[in-house]
């Protein structure tokens, strides 16, 4: 009887040990298979840096900043003037060596402010120096009014063999909303675990009513680069309230070299309870 009890105890110990070993092995395998991530970014005023650090903090990714050998001045007008001259002259901005080897990573988050509809020149230089073929690349950016779509298209053109995933962009005027938006973006993309709220598609647009026109005008009021009239709109419910997608056309304006070319645009506007309408991005 004692022998039988001893054999039974040993069997239980063996099964428990095997089970623990199996669980540990599964955990080790999962850890080995977890993708290695890198966040590489250029930031002039600190906004893009804040987004990069938020992504790195939440994902555990390595992070590195791109630095221009000849840094841009912090003054907006001086920076834009210099950038325009460099664009006209076809100047390639020299950057300091980047230590991170992209070959060691599976997912690379690439971020910069948007200037003239594309990534700032130091990031464009980096994208011509690095080979992201076969890598999952996630663009992110900060902007005055928009540029995620155009900068993503430029990234695709420069890295055609990379798998460019949907990106994240935020207006510099809305940085307080960034941490929560980044959290939802990373969860929606499967980069981190957690629940997120999938957004419904916008329905078909309809002609703008007087009340909806007032919302559009309030959202863009005071922003010098938008002088437009809303013509059509669609709306959807989001966790923060209501999001509007306006189609708008530029109104006649005095000759101004700083204004974008006249044409049609898509303007996204969010209205939260108890707050004024605010536009989140413009797509031209």
Domain boundary among 158, 188, 218: 188
Give residue 49's Cα distance to chain centre. Answer: 12
Q: Are residues 135 and 170 in the same domain?
A: yes
Q: Are residues 181 and 226 in the same domain?
A: no
The total number of structural domains in the chain stands at 2
Is the pLDDT at 7 greater than 80, yes or no? no
The tokens for 104 are 């060691």
Task: Please report the pLDDT score of residue 78 as a whole number.
Answer: 87
Task: Please report the pLDDT score of residue 22 as a whole number.
Answer: 56
Here the CATH number for the domain that contains residue 121 is 3.40.50.360
CA-to-CA dists, residue 12 to 3, 9, 20, angstroms: 14, 5, 12
242 CB burial (10 A radius; 0-12, 13-18, 19+): middle
Alpha helices in the chain (DSSP H): 2-33, 47-59, 76-89, 121-129, 148-158, 178-188, 210-220
Q: Are residues 172 and 262 in the same domain?
A: no
Q: Are residues 181 and 67 in the same domain?
A: yes
274 CB burial (10 A radius; 0-12, 13-18, 19+): exposed
CB 247 within 8 A of CB 264: yes
- Cα distance between residue 204 and residue 184, in whole Å: 25
Segment 65-85, tens digit of pLDDT: 999 999 998 778 888 889 989
- The DSSP code sequence of 32-55 is HHSPPEEEEE--SSSHHHHHHHHH
Is the pLDDT at 136 greater than 70, yes or no? yes
How does residue 274 score in pLDDT terms, banded at 50, 70 and 90?
confident
How does residue 10 score in pLDDT terms, banded at 50, 70 and 90?
very low
Q: Are residues 73 and 172 in the same domain?
A: yes
Q: Are residues 271 and 130 in the same domain?
A: no
The answer as to whether 5 is a domain residue is no
The answer as to whether 108 is a domain residue is yes
The answer as to whether 200 is a domain residue is no
Task: Please report the pLDDT score of residue 144 as a whole number.
Answer: 94
Q: Are residues 168 and 58 in the same domain?
A: yes
Residue 81's domain comprises 37-188
Q: Are residues 145 and 47 in the same domain?
A: yes
Segment 193-229, tens digit of pLDDT: 999 989 999 999 999 999 999 999 999 999 988 999 9
The pLDDT of 89-96, averaged and rounded, is 94
């Amino acid at each position: 009887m004692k022998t039988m009890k001893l054999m039974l105890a040993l069997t239980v110990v063996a099964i428990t040990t095997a089970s623990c070993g199996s669980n540990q092995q599964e955990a080790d395998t999962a850890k080995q298979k977890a993708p290695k991530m890198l966040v590489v970014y250029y930031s002039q005023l600190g906004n893009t840096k804040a987004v990069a650090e938020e992504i790195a903090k939440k994902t555990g990714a390595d992070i590195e900043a791109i630095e221009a050998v000849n840094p841009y001045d912090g003054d907006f007008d001086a920076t834009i003037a210099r950038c325009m001259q460099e664009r006209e002259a076809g100047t390639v901005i020299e950057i300091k060596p980047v230590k991170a080897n992209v070959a060691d990573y599976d997912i690379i988050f690439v971020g910069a402010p948007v200037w003239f509809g594309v990534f700032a020149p130091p990031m464009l230089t980096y994208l011509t120096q690095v080979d992201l073929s076969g890598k999952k690349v996630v663009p992110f950016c900060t902007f005055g009014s928009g540029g995620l779509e155009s900068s993503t298209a430029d990234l695709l053109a420069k890295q055609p063999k990379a798998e460019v995933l949907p990106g994240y962009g935020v207006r510099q005027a809305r940085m307080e909303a960034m941490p929560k938006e980044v959290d939802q973006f990373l969860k929606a993309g499967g980069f981190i675990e957690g629940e997120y709220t999938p957004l419904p598609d916008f329905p078909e647009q309809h002609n703008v009513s007087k009340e909806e026109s007032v919302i559009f005008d309030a959202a863009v009021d005071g922003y010098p680069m938008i002088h437009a009239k809303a013509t059509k709109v669609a709306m959807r419910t989001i966790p923060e309230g209501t999001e509007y997608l306006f189609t708008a056309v530029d109104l006649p304006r005095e000759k101004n070299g700083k204004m974008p070319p006249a044409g049609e645009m898509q303007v996204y506007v969010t209205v939260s309870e108890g707050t004024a309408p605010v536009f989140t991005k413009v797509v031209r």
